[in-house]
Structure 1
Amino acid sequence: MYLIKSPLLLKWYYPSLTWHKNRSDKVIYLTFDDGPIPDVTDFALKTLKAFDAKATFFCIGDNIYKHPEIFENIKNEGHSIGNHTFNHLKGWATPDEIYLKNFQKCQELTKTHLFRPPYGRIKKSQIAKLRSAHPDTQIIMWDVLSGDFDISLDPQKCFKNVIKHTGNGSIVVFHDSIKAYDRLKYALPKVLQHFTQQGYHFDSL
């Protein structure tokens, strides 16, 4: 069970987290979780470049360790990097000390001020401890979830999810993962084309 549009209740419960950007600007913030992954991240980078679009890649430390050359390609293309923990830990199910150590292990590779909790699940105690240790860190959530990770979702439906709910300042989640690849291949170029034709700009966080 997941929601395409982030509910107001969650935004109310976690008001200090970043759910979207300025609603007055025709700018969309595409984000990619779980990479870098061979072929999938490469496809995302090639597609973004074709539309002169910038994005933010929330990387898993273990995947950076396995695919350092792809990680360097992300940076060389001018995209932003975010921390997504070293082992994709679910905050709700992980003791705070272990969670923070896993964040730090990834941080040694990413060296970024951006963090997205895997699954969007993080305890308030983890937020407090993370910010105490790393005051400059911005915790980035989203207001539009493409659903590309859902293997039962039709690729066209994935595209429509984004088109229907995205607007000024939206932070949109895609995944540069093997599981998401079929839907990403279909939806990403169409999303870029659709919103480019409507005068939107794609920027990194």
Structure 2
Amino acid sequence: MTTITLSFDNGPDPDVTPQVLNTLRCHDLQATFFVLGDKLRDRRRLCERAHAEGHWIGNHTFNHLVPLGMSAEAGVATAEIVRTEALIGDLAHERRFFRPFGGGGLLDRRLLNGEALARLQSEAYTCVLWNVIPEDWMHPEGWVERALALCFAQEHALIVLHDLPTGAMKQLDRFIVSARDRGASFQQDFPASCVPIERGRLVSPVDGYVTDLAA
């Protein structure tokens, strides 16, 4: 039987995030919201609501402009992580979740640079990746079928969706209902295979995700 873990990146959005929260509440599901610091500054109440309803809040960098592994300027990666964590504040989970920007969902060495890796380790972050990218931002009307196919190819799927104003999250209810009708269960915690760093400790190889391990 397939287990699905829901996660939402790039919010919060004043219109879409409440819609997502309402849908999750209707189905009694908890997810993780990986938020951008630049958006969180003016929309923290949305994250406060999510946190109060049992959802986890994670760090997804401040600007989300360039994957950290593509940044060679000293201090940039640290700032992207630290500025957002400061804004999350007491909404952070004790495991301090961080998800790098993948540039289209690719799992490669662009995710992190050596500076970012060092910060995640020294500050005891838990790095959360993914194994299902249905590209909802590109296919707001048709992502559900792709998501179902990808999820049911996994024993435990960690899906990345986006609470952005693309119209895609109007299909969230249909996805949840369809997945359950096919026998899937939902779980908030992540598959171990998608967590290479747990509270700062390397639990699986990260060479394929880091541009310069010696930086």
Same fold (TM over 0.5): yes
Q: Please state whether the residue corresponding to 1:142 is helix, strand or coil.
A: coil
Shift of 1:66: 1.2
Task: Calculate the aligned-residue CA RMSD, in Å.
Answer: 1.9
Per-residue Cα deviation, 1:136-183 (whole angstroms, up to 9, x for no partner): 211111110020111xx2612x111110010432110000112xx312
- C-alpha separation between the residues in 2 aligned to 1:133 and 1:89? 24
- C-alpha separation between the residues in 2 aligned to 1:202 and 1:190? 18
Shift of 1:103: 0.5
Letter in 1 for 2:101: P
Residue 117 of structure 2, aligned match among 128, 138, 154: 128
8 A contact 1:31–1:171 mirrored in 2 = yes
Q: Please state whether the residue corresponding to 2:160 is helix, strand or coil.
A: strand
Shift of 1:127: 4.4
- Structure 1: where are the runs of 5+ without partners? 1-24
- Structure 2: where are the runs of 5+ without partners? 191-215
- Is 1:49 aligned with 2:25? yes
Larger RCO (CA under 8 A, 6+ residues apart): 1
When you count helix as a share of all residues, which structure comes out higher?
1
Q: Please state whether the residue corresponding to 2:167 is helix, strand or coil.
A: helix
- Is 1:92 aligned with 2:73? no
The alignment-based identity, stated in percent, is: 27
CA gap of 1:96–1:117, structure 2 versus 1, over 3 A, is farther
- C-alpha separation between the residues in 1 aligned to 2:55 and 2:140? 28
- C-alpha separation between the residues in 2 aligned to 1:107 and 1:68? 12
Q: Please state whether the residue corresponding to 2:57 is helix, strand or coil.
A: strand
Shift of 1:53: 0.8
Letter in 2 for 1:129: A
- Is 1:73 aligned with 2:49? yes
- Is 1:173 aligned with 2:156? no
8 A contact 1:89–1:99 mirrored in 2 = no
Letter in 2 for 1:184: M
TM-score by structure 2 length?
Answer: 0.74
CA gap of 1:85–1:129, structure 2 versus 1, over 3 A, is same
Q: Which residue in 1 is equivalent to 2:174?
A: 190
- Is 1:101 aligned with 2:79? yes
Q: Which residue in 2 is equivalent to 1:38?
A: 14
Q: Please state whether the residue corresponding to 1:42 is helix, strand or coil.
A: helix
TM-score by structure 1 length?
Answer: 0.77
CA gap of 1:160–1:73, structure 2 versus 1, over 3 A, is same
- C-alpha separation between the residues in 2 aligned to 1:83 and 1:141? 12
